């Protein structure tokens, strides 16, 4: 019989971290915390060099945790371990290296009340500095753990969600219902996996499968996109319910996505709708190459750099998944991953230079409809390349089931208890 605990563990890879990989993770987090703490001493040149020294062991311990020879219960959990390592390393580089050239540290901003939007001074007491370091360590999207403030780099779309936060009781009821709906959606998607026999020995099991038509390839690409969003959203929903139950302000835990499938353009999708988990790291890391470019080229170069960094991140994620006889293709430089991410700046350029000028004079709702058709046509076409990677690495294997107890397969086939 499937227990609730076993299902939760499968949705949150951190719960399955091998014991041997925990010491390097704790060491890496400790180094990152120390580096952030030293940023509160804003005029110390010596500490800037000290942070450069901290970068080396910090990155080493994060990489050891994510890419060491540790066995994961599921292939999908390898993504979680690698994600922790890569994002942690990027934050080390941001805090220790990028801040050496762009020394202004993040600052708190008042949220709500009469001082809403006003900058808060940097802490000067030991307790204040420790609180600052812990809060910034825990924040990946901009909201603070404290309901009366946020970070100055919080994206405007996240701030808007923070302002729409429900009262605690209504927040918890809504997210409990949302969690149940997300569970059913994962169940439906995992049922969709079973409608086709995947040949994962192919280098491209979706676009290289002659039995799949273009509409079928696009359908599975869309399913991968939805599943990716759900595998990020469900752990986050579990965590924010727990924090709000423990007393955290609901405004500190806004939605991680903003209705991504209602996007009206590629720019709208990537800027406003998709998650912003990596935005600060990518934006900060892109400062270095953009600094030396002509001003007229900086915007496109920065967008291209951000997607190149995203491509590198995802190359690392899928490389962590081990190869075997059924999944023999796992090169470090995966062309399908590169094609998907590196094609996005091209799509944004085409949209800005061609699509929007052509549709600008059209009446509503024709203009929005045409822009949306373009955006989703592009995403479906390019998404097939990412689905090659996702399915080819075995992430749609029957053993990768997350739900355990299947309502959809139970009603359809009588398979209520899905064996792990």
Residues 111 and 188 in one domain: no
**Residue 357 belongs to some domain of the structure:** no
Parallel, antiparallel, or unpaired for β 108-110 and 149-151? antiparallel
Residues 90 and 223 in one domain: no
Helix axes 75-93, 22-38, angle to 10 degrees: 20
Residues 31 and 178 in one domain: no
Residues 46 and 120 in one domain: yes
Residues 107 and 200 in one domain: no
Of 89, 122, 155, the last residue of a domain is 155
Residues 243 and 285 in one domain: yes
Residues 248 and 182 in one domain: yes
Stated pTM of the model: 0.86
The parent domain of residue 408 ranges over 168-252+280-341+382-413
**Residue 163 belongs to some domain of the structure:** no
pLDDT for res 11: 56
**Residue 404 belongs to some domain of the structure:** yes
Residues 213 and 295 in one domain: yes
Residues 234 and 97 in one domain: no
Task: Count structural domains, the chain.
Answer: 2
**Residue 65 belongs to some domain of the structure:** yes
Residues 181 and 298 in one domain: yes
**Residue 350 belongs to some domain of the structure:** no
**Residue 238 belongs to some domain of the structure:** yes
**Residue 367 belongs to some domain of the structure:** no
Residues 146 and 187 in one domain: no
pLDDT for res 8: 55
Q: What is the pLDDT along the chain (420 residues), one digit of tens a residue?
A: 445 555 555 555 555 677 888 899 999 999 999 999 999 998 889 999 999 999 999 999 999 999 998 888 888 888 888 989 998 999 999 999 988 888 789 999 999 989 999 999 999 999 999 999 999 999 988 999 999 999 999 988 899 999 999 999 999 999 999 999 998 998 899 888 888 999 999 999 999 999 999 999 999 999 999 998 988 888 889 889 999 999 999 999 998 888 888 999 999 999 888 988 888 888 888 877 777 777 777 788 888 999 999 999 999 999 999 888 999 988 888 999 999 999 999 999 999 999 999 999 999 999 999 999 999 999 999 999 999 999 999 999 888 877 777 888 888 888 887 755
Residues 239 and 204 in one domain: yes
pLDDT for res 10: 54
pLDDT for res 141: 87
At a CB cut-off of 8 Å and minimum separation 6, what does 116 contact?
110
């Amino acid at each position: 019989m499937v227990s609730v605990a076993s299902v939760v563990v499968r949705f949150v890879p951190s719960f399955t971290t091998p014991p041997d990989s925990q010491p390097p993770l704790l060491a890496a987090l400790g180094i990152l915390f120390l580096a952030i703490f030293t940023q509160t001493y804003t005029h110390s040149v010596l500490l800037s060099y000290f942070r450069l020294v901290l970068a080396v062991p910090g990155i080493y311990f994060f990489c050891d945790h994510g890419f060491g020879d540790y066995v994961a219960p599921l292939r999908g959990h390898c993504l979680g371990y690698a994600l922790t390592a890569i994002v942690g390393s990027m934050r080390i580089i941001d805090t220790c290296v990028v801040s050496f050239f762009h020394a202004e540290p993040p600052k708190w901003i008042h949220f709500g009340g009469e001082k809403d939007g006003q900058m808060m001074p940097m802490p000067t007491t030991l307790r204040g500095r420790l609180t600052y370091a812990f809060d910034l360590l825990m924040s990946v999207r901009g909201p603070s753990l404290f309901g009366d403030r946020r970070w100055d780099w919080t994206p405007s779309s996240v701030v808007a969600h923070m302002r729409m936060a429900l009262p605690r009781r209504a927040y918890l009821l809504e997210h409990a219902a949302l969690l149940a709906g997300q569970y059913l959606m994962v169940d439906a998607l995992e049922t969709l996996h079973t409608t086709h026999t995947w040949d994962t020995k192919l280098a491209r099991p979706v676009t290289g499968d002659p039995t799949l038509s273009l509409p079928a390839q696009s359908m599975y690409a869309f399913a991968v996109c939805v599943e990716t969003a759900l595998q990020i959203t469900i752990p986050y929903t579990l965590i924010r319910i727990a924090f709000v139950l423990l007393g955290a302000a609901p405004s500190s835990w806004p939605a991680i996505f903003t209705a991504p499938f209602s996007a009206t353009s590629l720019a709208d999708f990537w800027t406003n709708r998709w998650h912003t988990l990596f935005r600060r790291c990518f934006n900060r890391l892109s400062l270095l190459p953009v600094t030396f470019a002509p001003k007229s080229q900086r915007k496109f170069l920065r967008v291209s750099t951000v997607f190149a960094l995203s491509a590198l991140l995802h190359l690392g994620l899928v490389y962590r998944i081990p190869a075997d006889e059924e999944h023999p293709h796992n090169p470090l430089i995966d062309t399908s991953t590169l094609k998907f991410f590196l094609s996005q700046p091209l799509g944004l350029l085409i949209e800005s230079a061609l699509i929007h000028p052509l549709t600008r004079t059209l009446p509503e709702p024709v203009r929005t409809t045409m822009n949306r058709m373009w955006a989703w046509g592009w995403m479906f076409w390019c998404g097939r390349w990412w689905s090659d990677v996702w399915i080819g690495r075995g992430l749609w294997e029957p053993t990768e089931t997350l739900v355990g107890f299947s309502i959809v397969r139970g009603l359809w086939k009588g398979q209520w208890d899905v064996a792990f």
